[in-house]
Chain A
Amino acid sequence: MSLPAIHAATLFDKIWSRHVVAQESERFLLYVDRAVVDDVRAPHVLASLAKRGLPIRRPDLVFVVQDHTTPSFPTHRGLGGSDFLDATRAAAHAAGLTLFDVGDAEQGISHVTMPELGVVPPGSTYVCVDSHAPTVGGLGALGFGCGSSELEHVLATQTIWLKKPRQHRIRLDGALAEGVSAKDVILHVLRIVGREAMRGAAVEFCGDMIAREPIEGRLTISNMAVELGARTSLMAPDAAAMDWLAARHPQERSAELAGVRKVWSALRSDAGAAFETDLHFDCASVEPQITWGTSPSTAIPVTSKVPSAGDAHGLAADKWRRAIDYMDLTPGEPLLGKKVDRVFIGSCTNSRLPDLESAARVLRGRRVAQGVTAVVVPGSRTVARQAERAGLREIFVAAGFQWGEPGCSMCAGGGGERLQPGERVVSTTNRNFEGRQGAGVRTHLASPATAAAAAVCGVIADPRRLAPNS
Chain B
Amino acid sequence: MDKFQIVRGPAAPLLVDDVDTDQIAPVQYMRALEPDYRVALFARWRAAPQDFVLDKPRFSGAPILVAGRNFGCGSAREVAVWALMAHGVRCIVARSFSDVFRESALKNGVLPVQLDAADQGSFEAIATDVDGAAPFEVDLVKQIIQCPGGRVYAFSIAPHERAALLQGLDDVALTMAYAARIAAWEEGALQEQPWLQRVPPRKG
Which of the 9-residue segments A76-84, A349-357, A369-377 touches chain B? A76-84
Does B141 lie at the interface of the complex (its beta carbon under 8 Å from any beta carbon of A)? no
A163 to B157, CA, bound (A): 13
Instruction: Collect the chain B residues with CB atoms within 8 Å of residue A33's CB.
Output: 196-197
A-B pairs under 8 A by CB, number: 169
Annotate B164-180 by CB proximity to A: 1 below 8 A, 0 otherwise: 00000011100110110
Q: Which of B4-44 contact A (CB under 8 A)?
A: 17-18, 20, 22-23, 26-28, 30-33, 44
Instruction: Collect the chain B residues with CB atoms within 8 Å of residue A21's CB.
Output: 178, 181-182, 185
Annotate B78-97 by CB proximity to A: 1 below 8 A, 0 otherwise: 10010000000000000010
Q: Once the chains bind, are A54 and B172 in contact (CB under 8 Å)?
A: yes
Does B56 lie at the interface of the complex (its beta carbon under 8 Å from any beta carbon of A)? no
| Shortest CB distance B128–A (Å) | 15
Annotate A1-34 by CB proximity to B: 1 below 8 A, 0 otherwise: 0000000000000000001011011110101011
Does B143 lie at the interface of the complex (its beta carbon under 8 Å from any beta carbon of A)? no
A358 to B96, CA, bound (A): 39
Which of the 9-residue segments A301-309, A334-342, A430-438 touches chain B? A430-438
**Which of A22, A150, A252 is in CB contact (< 8 Å) with B181?**
A22
Does B202 lie at the interface of the complex (its beta carbon under 8 Å from any beta carbon of A)? yes
Count residues of chain B with CB under 8 A from any CB of chain A. 57
Count residues of chain A with CB under 8 A from any CB of chain B. 77
Does A229 lie at the interface of the complex (its beta carbon under 8 Å from any beta carbon of B)? yes
Does B73 lie at the interface of the complex (its beta carbon under 8 Å from any beta carbon of A)? yes
With A26-B158, A149-B104: A195-B73 Cβ-Cβ less than 8 Å? yes
A225 to B195, CA, bound (A): 27
Does A156 lie at the interface of the complex (its beta carbon under 8 Å from any beta carbon of B)? yes
**Which of A106, A229, A260 is in CB contact (< 8 Å) with B73?**
A229
Does A238 lie at the interface of the complex (its beta carbon under 8 Å from any beta carbon of B)? no
**Which of A19, A22, A250, A435 is in CB contact (< 8 Å) with B201?**
A250
| Shortest CB distance B2–A (Å) | 13
Which of the 9-residue segments A114-122, A175-183, A209-217, A394-402 touches chain B? A114-122
A21 to B187, CA, bound (A): 12
Q: Once the chains bind, are B172 and A153 in contact (CB under 8 Å)?
A: yes
| Shortest CB distance A339–B (Å) | 24
Instruction: Collect the chain B residues with CB atoms within 8 Å of residue A149's CB.
Output: 78, 104, 107-108, 170
Does A60 lie at the interface of the complex (its beta carbon under 8 Å from any beta carbon of B)? yes
A434 to B23, CA, bound (A): 7
**Which of B44, B75, B195 is in CB contact (< 8 Å) with A412?**
B75
| Shortest CB distance B107–A (Å) | 4
A54 to B201, CA, bound (A): 26
Q: Once the chains bind, are A414 and B27 in contact (CB under 8 Å)?
A: yes
Annotate A115-137 by CB proximity to B: 1 below 8 A, 0 otherwise: 00111010110000111000000
Q: Once the chains bind, are A27 and B158 in contact (CB under 8 Å)?
A: yes
Q: Once the chains bind, are A439 and B200 in contact (CB under 8 Å)?
A: no
A224 to B37, CA, bound (A): 29
| Shortest CB distance B17–A (Å) | 7
**Which of B69, B182, B194 is in CB contact (< 8 Å) with A158?**
B182
A181 to B4, CA, bound (A): 49
Does A170 lie at the interface of the complex (its beta carbon under 8 Å from any beta carbon of B)? no
Instruction: Collect the chain B residues with CB atoms within 8 Å of residue A434's CB.
Output: 22-23, 44
Query: Can you identify 16 A-B contacts, CB atoms within 8 angstroms?
Result: A25-B160, A60-B199, A80-B32, A117-B200, A119-B199, A146-B76, A147-B76, A149-B78, A149-B170, A153-B170, A156-B172, A195-B73, A199-B70, A412-B27, A412-B75, A431-B74
Which 3 interchain pairs have the tightest Cβ spacing? A147-B104, A147-B78, A149-B107
Residues of A near any B CB (own CB < 8 A): 19, 21-22, 24-27, 29, 31, 33-34, 40-41, 43-44, 52, 54, 57, 60-61, 79-80, 83-84, 87, 98, 105-106, 117-119, 121, 123-124, 129-131, 145-150, 152-153, 156-159, 161, 163, 195-196, 199-200, 229, 231, 249-250, 252-253, 256, 260, 263, 295, 316, 319, 412-414, 431, 433-436, 438-439
Given known contacts A146-B76, A439-B26, what 11 new A-B pairs fall within 8 Å (CB)? Answer: A31-B186, A33-B196, A79-B31, A106-B202, A118-B200, A147-B101, A150-B103, A153-B175, A196-B69, A316-B17, A435-B44
